[in-house]
Structure 1
């Protein structure tokens, strides 16, 4: 009972991988923002044990502000890059 469509799991995986790389090429600052997010969180967890007499809530607020600032900055740069590509770098007809 074949319907006539041959969909294999390997072609599905390749399609998903190529879709992710295509999206990363369209908006290169999103993967950078995700990597920065992971790096700042890792650094914050590492520094958690040597925070001294700083309260835990203050440490977490500082980490939240750092991560949020990095991600918002990366997304803003990505939007600026996209606008540049779309409006200024386009060849004139």
Structure 2
């Protein structure tokens, strides 16, 4: 690479508003950050809660199982997949509601 490649660029001045905005974003508290994540993607949080629930149920039932481990793990996988599909379906229905029904009410 030629040394003159970087010399032909121009310096850009960053507006003070942008710098202040970046500084304010970095100074947000943990609860504000969590709230903004929940507001942007509520079904992502629902997915994490579903995952935690399935893992908890799986750990509890692993101790008290009466079937072979392969059948138990197969059943647990089916339950986890059903939970994931259910949460994805709810998310799609929520998105369709926002896109079609709420927009018609606003117009």
Per the normalisation by structure 2, the TM-score is 0.64
Aligned counterpart for 2:52 among listed residues 30, 38, 52: 38
d(CA) in 2 for partners of 1:47, 1:76: 27
- Work out the number of aligned pairs and report it: 87
Segments of 5+ residues of structure 1 without an aligned counterpart are none
Segments of 5+ residues of structure 2 without an aligned counterpart are 1-13
Ranked by relative contact order (alpha carbons within 8 Å, sequence separation 6 or more), the top structure is: 1
Dislocated runs of 4+, deviation >4 Å: 4-8, 15-20
Equivalent residues of 1:27, 1:78 under 8 A apart: no
RMSD: 2.9
Q: Rg: which structure is higher?
A: 2
- Written as runs of structure 1 = structure 2, the 5 A alignment for 1:37-56 is 37-52=51-66, 54-56=67-69
